[in-house]
Structure 1
Amino acid sequence: MGLTYADIELESTFRARRMSVRALVGSGAVFMIIPQHATIQLGFDIEEVSTREVILADGSRKQVPMVGPLRVHFRDRYCDLSALVFGDEALLGAVPMEMMDLVLQPSTQSLTVNPESPYIPVALAK
């Protein structure tokens, strides 16, 4: 087993800018995370956004910018959310995966549309 990556598109719905990125898929992570260079390309000004305190894998805490609205596209699905800004690569966490009804397949190191709902994303709301 190794790391899983997926080709996704990020779109700044406010600035109408879009870019393709290869994102690390992390089911243990919660949020969408994008590096600072992506926020610049999408037209966000990280000096004028809110911040969020995050706890990193080593237990340390860090204040990071949060940008949005951001639309994340994977295949024929998308979700709208805010993203944390840090690190050197995009990270697709559990929230955007759940919002788009995607399934991580560790054995094949792939991200796919949920085969139980191939045409329309389904969300558990109970």
Structure 2
Amino acid sequence: MPVRFTEEDLFCPTETALGIIGGKWKGMILWCLAQRTMRFSELHRTVPDITQRMLTKQLRDLERYDIIERKVYAQVPPKVEYSLSKQGQKLKFILDDLEEWSRSYLEEKAAKNETS
């Protein structure tokens, strides 16, 4: 089912983006998938403290927005892999910039705390 945006949704493009990729878990999931294609169990082990149910929900949301792709292999036992879609690949630069900003921010905060 395609996602439909209203004029209200697109009023603030930043809010639209954060609505799609924001939240506690999606950033970590996207960061992992920006590194490489992963199976569900790999993601579950890699993302700390996420429940199986929550990971499933977050992956479905990201797939619904065409940020990730889910590939199911016809084999026994079933094999499912997740990767960034073409749309999701566009986020890699943003994720890299966010990582750089976060590291810089944390370093500055740590330096301030040391001098206090």
- Larger RCO of the pair (alpha carbons < 8 Å, separation 6+): 1
Superposition TM-score tier, normalisation by shorter sequence: under 0.3
Q: Normalising by the residue count of structure 1, what TM-score does the alignment of the two structures yield?
A: 0.25
Give the TM-score normalised by structure 2: 0.26
Q: Which has the larger radius of gyration?
A: 2
